Amino acid sequence: MTQMIAAQIPLALAGAADREWVETDPGRAWSKLLWTDVETGSWASLLRWSKGYTAPPHVHLHDAHFLMLSGRIAVRDTEYGPGDYGYEPKGAVHDATTTLEDCVYFIVNNGPIQIMADPATGSPAYEVSSRDMVGG
């Protein structure tokens, strides 16, 4: 147990400012992985979205927590801005998350997220997990 904790400390202490943003939707959305635990499926990251970006409908397969750092998003019938905290329980379903202003927020996912199929484009459902975050 001590070795496992010791192995995770350098990753947890690594500076977010030195990590690169990874473009997830060209010109509209970026992610910066801060920490992941492939064994439990948990990960923490910063998300940066441009005004007008809409995240696809999805289901939280495990709990998630987020903290808005800048900008504004709309989730269901609630708007979140700088300093607002949100909690998504296991099983929470999103139709879409809309970016009202350019934003950055911190999110911790305790397991995979399932992106829903889009019949209009023919896109199948798929999961995003901590393994995807580290290229595994």
Domains of the chain with CATH codes: 21-133 (2.60.120.10)
pLDDT at 65: 96
pLDDT at 1: 45
Quick: pLDDT tens for 35-93: 888 788 888 999 999 999 998 889 999 999 999 999 999 998 899 999 999 999 999 99
pLDDT at 19: 81
pLDDT at 2: 55
Task: Using alpha carbons, list the distances in angstroms from residue 117 to 54, 55, 91, 94.
Answer: 15, 13, 16, 13
pLDDT at 20 > cutoff 50? yes
pLDDT at 133: 61
pLDDT at 66: 96
